[in-house]
Structure 1
Amino acid sequence: MARDTMVVIAASIIVAIAVIFREQIIASRFGVGDVTDAFALASSIVIFLAAAIGGSLASSLIPVTIQIEVDSGGAIAEKLCRAVLARLLVSLVAISVLMYVFSEPIISAIAHNFPPEKRQLTRSLFMMTLPLLPLAGWAAYATVLLNIRRRLLFSTLASVMIPVTGIIIIQISSTPGALALGLVLGYLMQCLFVAFILKEEPRWLCPAWQAQRSQLRAVWHQYLPVTIGSLFMTGTVVTDQVMAGWLTSGSVATLAFASILVNYLNAFAGRALGVPAIIHFSTLTAHKKWAEARRLMGQALLIIGGIALGLTIIVWGFSDWLVAQLFEHGAFTAVDTAHVAEVQKYYSLQLTFQFIGVLLVRMLSALGKNRAILVVAMFNFFANILLNWIFMKLFGVAGIALATSVVLFISSLLCGAMVWRSLNAEFPGKRSV
């Protein structure tokens, strides 16, 4: 697991540089203003759906596919994966069409505090970003294939196409539409990159409807609770953006910029820890090596928890300097830096709980406990709304960041308790070979 983690870390650093560079350009061109507010809110809805629906594949398809390859061989696993892809794409295209048709009431509901012109801009950007849904779903599926084959360098590096394409488009045009166009084309380029890497296995990339119903049910039983849970978990991001819109103008953009560094560190943990973890945990549980799974889980939590705590101290202590170095150019002023840095401090408190939470959730998925993840995600969603409401009255937009950190602390405790119970009570065997 350590070697795979280092590979993902190396690739993630490249992605991080590209993401930060793109956000620097956006900050310099648009600052903390109406355009950034509108794009942050519009894109967060679509990206939230893409992450929840497409991103849940890893936690459901990888364990089932590995088990089928062990039991029945690669041909049966291929048939299953292609059937899953077909159903995924049909669902995402249908959702995109429905959201386009109902874009006006959707945006009116979540951006009702925006002035009419700003609300119309938000709707336009929202409609422009909708094509990325099926693209993101296909890319997520192809990335799962790369992960199953442990081609982790390419599966991680593929996402660099999104910020790189965005940078190119923004350099060509500084209009608000360039932000949405760059995002959609970025996902398209990611698809092309992954397709090129998997060119020797083209059949796996083509959707096909037929597969054994029992195997589809096995994926569905894992996928449905994870997807619903992801909708609740990633829905907290949209909720945060919407509730920030209730505050003063520029609050949505302030929250968006304040979350960039912390969210990227979280995403970094998701890639560097989550991808190797789900593969290794699924392999151990498929072969019923419970003692080895317990040992690996304990070691990983101790090491990763310490690293995350150190990162929290660094981000909190150097928040003003980090924001100034990253964003204080052009339209992004020193006043904006002070506001964003304060919010970023409260966001950084979540890092330790987010990092260890990635490991705990992946172990629960490997154990087939995705329904437990759903329960925790539902709790997180409603607790986040309640704490947002309380803390934003006390601390303004910084209170929204604090609420997120508190919720993740509680959820990590819940997940830890469930993993401990599963590994020590339900699967107490000592066999490790």
Structure 2
Amino acid sequence: MIRSFVTVLSGTLSSRLLGFGRDALIAALLGAGPVADAFLAAFQLVNVIRRLLTEGALNAALVPAWLRIYQQDGETQAAAFAGRVLGTVSAGLLATTLALALLMPLAMTALAPGFAGDETLTMAVNDARLMLPYLAFAGPSTVLLALSSARGRFVLAAFAPLLFNVALIAVTIVLLAQHPDPARGALLLAATIGIAGLLQLIMLARRGGRNKIATPVRVSFDAAMRGFFARALPGMVASAGPQLLAVGGAIIASATPSAVSWLYFANRLIELPLGLVGVAMGTVLIPELTRALHAGDAAALSKVQSRGLELTMGLALPATLGLMILNAPIIGLLFEHGAFDAEDAAATAQVLTWLAAALPAQVLTKALQPAFFAREDTQTPLRATLIGCGVAIALAFLLGQMFAASGIAAGLALGAWANAVVLLRRGASSFGFAISGAARRRLPRIALAAALMAVALWAVAGVLKVAAGSHVATAILLAALIGGAIIVYAALLLALGVVDGRQTLRAVRRRSVPNLPAGDLHL
């Protein structure tokens, strides 16, 4: 499991780092005014559907169903099932794309009511329509990626999304060199998003066609498909909890100038650790849990759930504390360029502090949801997500009236914790989470290691002030601080007996072998 986790983690980290580069360039090109607010509001709409599909959410429904058919009925029936899912998802998203294109003014008014009656709304509608083709391509791409994960092919699922960011970065660099009007630049970027989706689908379709993992491809609404989508759609919505919170925040923030941009760029920092954990858990943990459940292996089930919880919290806690301590220099380094000025950077850093408080809750949710999804229970996570979103929107609206963008971020954080608490209580009462005794001993030590690392980081973080005004010096010192914090954290984990260096290296080198034919194990 650790080898697969590291593979997916590496690909997701690469994609997220490219995403930071992409957003830094977009911030320099568009700034944080009406043009940026319009573009980012449109991007938020497309992004929430993209992530609902691509970041482990469809895996939550498709992988257990595909594995059950594969193990019970064989490869041919599994391929036929996958072909029906591929054809139906593709047709459904194509119809959704066309409907959204026609109804986009209404959709954007609902997502950004503060834009109503303003030119910003027109810009957002135009940007969103140019982005929409991506959705038609994202559906079949996601099915092919999920099938690769189910067959133990994690490299393709990990690294295929890089193409999206590479295309946007290339176009943004060209636009910065040409110094176009920001509104025109936003339109060109929006069009690039649709093209990037097409390129990704072509790459995946060629590989999927060679392997015949979904054939024949056809649209079907038979009883089996209706049952699958009845289980899949609630799970997909539940998995998109963080993105739904971001959309809710943008709806409330749209009434405040530049607040949509501040929330978006702050949330991008949260998405790095959240994306690493979420994609890895959705891609790796669900197949492992499903196999353990189907085999009736209680010991394996406990081991997988325990390892998943330890890995997620071990990543989330130091990331949360690090973002809180280094919020200002990180935001300044990444986004304070061109049209994105110091005032925008300071406001974004304040928002980041509150959004970081939600990170442990969000990764805890990502670690808990697979236990439900592997049992093909998508209703419980859906209810928990809806409760969390309701709490978040109510508190964000209330706190936003008093504390502007920071208040909105605080409300979103409280909603994320509500989601996690509901999920934890429901899981404990329904089937109990099989956490091993070793994990119960290690989790408090992980928290202690993260706290000690944070104290050390806070003690030396003031050195960044020496480099104020110099991005190069700030980058060097920030890299040194983050690298030092990672070393300290790793040393503390070793000293506290949380990890064994030799066992970890052996686990990374060991090749995970799922219960599939030998020819299906590698790319």
Task: Give the partner amino acid of 1:354.
Answer: Q
Partners of 1:233 and 1:380 within 8 A in 2: no
> Which secondary structure state, in structure 1, belongs to the residue aligned with residue 149 of structure 2?
helix
Task: Give the partner amino acid of 1:162.
Answer: F
Q: Residues 62, 137 of structure 1: CA spacing in aligned structure 2 closer, same or farther, 3 A cutoff?
A: same
Alignment of 1:18-97 (within 5 A): 18-52=18-52, 56-97=57-98
| Cα distance between partner residues in 1 of 2:272 and 2:167 | 18
> Which secondary structure state, in structure 2, belongs to the residue aligned with residue 329 of structure 1?
coil
* Aligned match of 1:251: 259
| Cα distance between partner residues in 2 of 1:195 and 1:227 | 23
Task: Give the partner amino acid of 1:118.
Answer: T
Partners of 2:35 and 2:186 within 8 A in 1: yes
Aligned equivalent of 2:188, options 171, 178, 184: 178
The reply on whether 1:204 has 2:214 as its aligned counterpart is: yes
Deviation at 1:292, TM superposition (A): 2.4
| Cα distance between partner residues in 2 of 1:62 and 1:135 | 20
* Aligned match of 2:134: 132
Deviation at 1:214, TM superposition (A): 5.4
Partners of 1:169 and 1:181 within 8 A in 2: no
Alignment of 1:130-169 (within 5 A): 130-169=132-171
Residue deviations 1:1-28 (CA, integer Å, cap 9, x gap): 1111111112222212211111111111
Deviation at 1:425, TM superposition (A): 9.3
Deviation at 1:147, TM superposition (A): 0.6
Partners of 1:45 and 1:238 within 8 A in 2: yes
The reply on whether 1:294 has 2:302 as its aligned counterpart is: yes
* Aligned match of 1:343: 351
> Which secondary structure state, in structure 1, belongs to the residue aligned with residue 105 of structure 2?
helix
- Please list every run of 5 or more consecutive structure 2 residues that lacks an aligned counterpart in the other structure: 435-523
Residue deviations 1:222-246 (CA, integer Å, cap 9, x gap): 2132244457763332221111011
* Aligned match of 1:429: none
Task: Give the partner amino acid of 1:105.
Answer: L
Task: Give the partner amino acid of 2:97.
Answer: S
Partners of 1:167 and 1:182 within 8 A in 2: no
Partners of 1:308 and 1:355 within 8 A in 2: yes
* Aligned match of 1:430: none
Task: Give the partner amino acid of 1:46.
Answer: V
Q: Residues 108, 6 of structure 1: CA spacing in aligned structure 2 closer, same or farther, 3 A cutoff?
A: closer
User: What percent identity do the matched residue pairs reach?
Assistant: 21
Q: Residues 283, 323 of structure 1: CA spacing in aligned structure 2 closer, same or farther, 3 A cutoff?
A: same
Residue deviations 1:26-52 (CA, integer Å, cap 9, x gap): 111111111210011112112223433
| Cα distance between partner residues in 2 of 1:113 and 1:210 | 41
* Aligned match of 1:392: 400
Partners of 1:346 and 1:401 within 8 A in 2: yes
The reply on whether 1:365 has 2:366 as its aligned counterpart is: no
Deviation at 1:176, TM superposition (A): 1.3
Deviation at 1:397, TM superposition (A): 0.6
> Which secondary structure state, in structure 1, belongs to the residue aligned with residue 247 of structure 2?
helix
Partners of 1:236 and 1:381 within 8 A in 2: yes
The reply on whether 1:415 has 2:417 as its aligned counterpart is: no
Residue deviations 1:334-364 (CA, integer Å, cap 9, x gap): 2211111110111111111111211111111
| Cα distance between partner residues in 2 of 1:425 and 1:43 | 37
> Which secondary structure state, in structure 1, belongs to the residue aligned with residue 114 of structure 2?
coil
> Which secondary structure state, in structure 2, belongs to the residue aligned with residue 297 of structure 1?
helix
Partners of 1:155 and 1:194 within 8 A in 2: no
Q: Residues 233, 341 of structure 1: CA spacing in aligned structure 2 closer, same or farther, 3 A cutoff?
A: closer
Task: Give the partner amino acid of 2:287.
Answer: I
Partners of 1:233 and 1:378 within 8 A in 2: no
| Cα distance between partner residues in 2 of 1:378 and 1:110 | 17
> Which secondary structure state, in structure 2, belongs to the residue aligned with residue 150 of structure 1?
coil
- Segment of structure 1 superposing worse, 30-39 or 313-322: 30-39
* Aligned match of 1:431: none
| Cα distance between partner residues in 1 of 2:207 and 2:338 | 39
For the pair shown, which has the larger CA radius of gyration, 1 or 2? Answer: 2
TM-score (norm 1): 0.92
Task: Give the partner amino acid of 2:343.
Answer: V
RMSD of the TM alignment (CA)? 2.2
* Aligned match of 2:13: 13
* Aligned match of 2:233: 224
Alignment of 1:310-349 (within 5 A): 310-349=318-357
Partners of 2:134 and 2:197 within 8 A in 1: yes
| Cα distance between partner residues in 1 of 2:119 and 2:244 | 26
Residue deviations 1:368-387 (CA, integer Å, cap 9, x gap): 22111111121122111111
Q: Residues 16, 231 of structure 1: CA spacing in aligned structure 2 closer, same or farther, 3 A cutoff?
A: closer
Residue deviations 1:198-230 (CA, integer Å, cap 9, x gap): 34224627622359x554344234213224445
Partners of 1:233 and 1:381 within 8 A in 2: no
| Cα distance between partner residues in 2 of 1:25 and 1:425 | 44
Q: Residues 19, 360 of structure 1: CA spacing in aligned structure 2 closer, same or farther, 3 A cutoff?
A: same
> Which secondary structure state, in structure 2, belongs to the residue aligned with residue 209 of structure 1?
coil
The reply on whether 1:101 has 2:111 as its aligned counterpart is: no
| Cα distance between partner residues in 1 of 2:70 and 2:146 | 15
| Cα distance between partner residues in 1 of 2:113 and 2:362 | 32
- Segment of structure 1 superposing worse, 21-30 or 10-19: 10-19
* Aligned match of 2:285: 277
* Aligned match of 2:200: 190
* Aligned match of 1:111: 112
| Cα distance between partner residues in 2 of 1:308 and 1:224 | 27
> Which secondary structure state, in structure 2, belongs to the residue aligned with residue 266 of structure 1?
helix
Aligned equivalent of 1:378, options 367, 386, 396: 386
Task: Give the partner amino acid of 1:204.
Answer: A
Aligned residue pairs total: 424
| Cα distance between partner residues in 1 of 2:63 and 2:113 | 41
* Aligned match of 1:239: 248
Q: Residues 177, 99 of structure 1: CA spacing in aligned structure 2 closer, same or farther, 3 A cutoff?
A: same
Q: Residues 48, 152 of structure 1: CA spacing in aligned structure 2 closer, same or farther, 3 A cutoff?
A: same
* Aligned match of 2:470: none
Deviation at 1:399, TM superposition (A): 1.6
